[in-house]
Structure 1
Amino acid sequence: MAPRSLRVGRDLTAEERRTAVLRAAVECVAVTGYDNLRLRDVARAAGVSTGLLQHYFETRDELVAEAFRQASEDLLQEWSVLLASNPPPWERLDALVSQLALRDGLRTHCMVWVEFATASARIASMREGFRAIYDKWYALVRETVEDGTNAGIFTPVTSVPDVVELLLNHIDGCELNIASDPEGMTGVRMRELTLRLAATLLQYDGYEVADAAGSGPREVARSAP
């Protein structure tokens, strides 16, 4: 991986430098995996010394946990901006799914999520951070489903918590598929399947599926009989 400079016309603050290091670590995890990650590779990718890296992070586990937190917080911030206008529940759900599935660097995101989940299963100190991020994602989807249900837009076929868990488990499966098989699942297909599943579980009787470029409607799906 080519080194990147952290100077962009001025000296970065300590917090900006730390954030840039974390984002470089995310890229390294996607390339090498957690088990093969070396601090010197992250330092080279970030354009800093290994000594500076160790000044910020005492262990590799701490670096990886913080890198994943940073990547997740970046995504949550994108969602926060996206939802600032408080769109209707279905449009909000579509926006959440589309922002994830149609994002640039989707496979990198998926690979990092899988690596972090695997590491968290083995390393107790990383589980709290993994759970915290997952809970934030769960809360966003649950609030959307509850708002639509309370407004009479959705009629869930089972309890709201069950619907949310089914949707998130489906998304996790798509991300695993994308991470392990770059020629298989695509972001466009992930979005379409997720919205079809949501429409069925919520008995929402119509939604437009974007075309392969994500630029326009292709068909209208109806809830399953």
Structure 2
Amino acid sequence: MTQQPVPEARRRASSTKQGELPDEVTQILVKSLQLGAGAGGCGMLFGATAGIIRLTPAPLLFSLVTGFQWFGLSSVFYGTRKVAIARLGPEHTVTPAQKVGASAIAGAASVVPVGLLLRGPRSILPGAVVFSLLGAGGQFAANKWSASEGSSEKKSSWLDRKWSPMTRLSDEQYENILEEKVLRLEAEIAIIDEDLTALKAQKEAQKAAEDVAMQSPLRGDKT
């Protein structure tokens, strides 16, 4: 028996199962680490400043701990939220309510690693509740802001104002105006053609009259 070739899709699936992460998961992981690194750097600066102001015994340690907290919270929140939204479908089809739920789940999940490492298991439950509410509230506010921004952009044009001397035209109205202008131009061209024809006929008649007038004296001389 001849061995049948393995389809390309099966090869990719088997290689993925053997330890390679899907491209989507890899992108989410990389972006989460990048965002966490940026937030961690900001956290270190904030921790150093706060440690100096509060006169902590070890401002460097306080800065490192703050940076680690910001890194863990931001990276886990972003990654969990992206995974939750990806499981719901393409991001442009996810409803605002589903985004609020995904942000609430991400907020609760972001507390787990930081709470276990720094504050102990007892802090996980209250921290998860607080950050879940913060995530849901922040996403709800972001949804409202994006919706109001989109509606204001549609209504804020000065062309839509009552006092505006100009009005916004739809494609159909603009097409009708162009058709009217074309018809008017064709009518003007037809009138000009008629005038040229009449003028040409008048010149021809005038020339014929002049020829007749010139020939009549010649006939009188011959007689």
Report the TM-score, using the length of structure 1 for normalisation: 0.28
Higher helix share: 2
- Where relative contact order (Cα < 8 A, 6+ residues apart) is larger, the structure is 1
Greater C-alpha radius of gyration: 2
TM-score by length of 2: 0.29
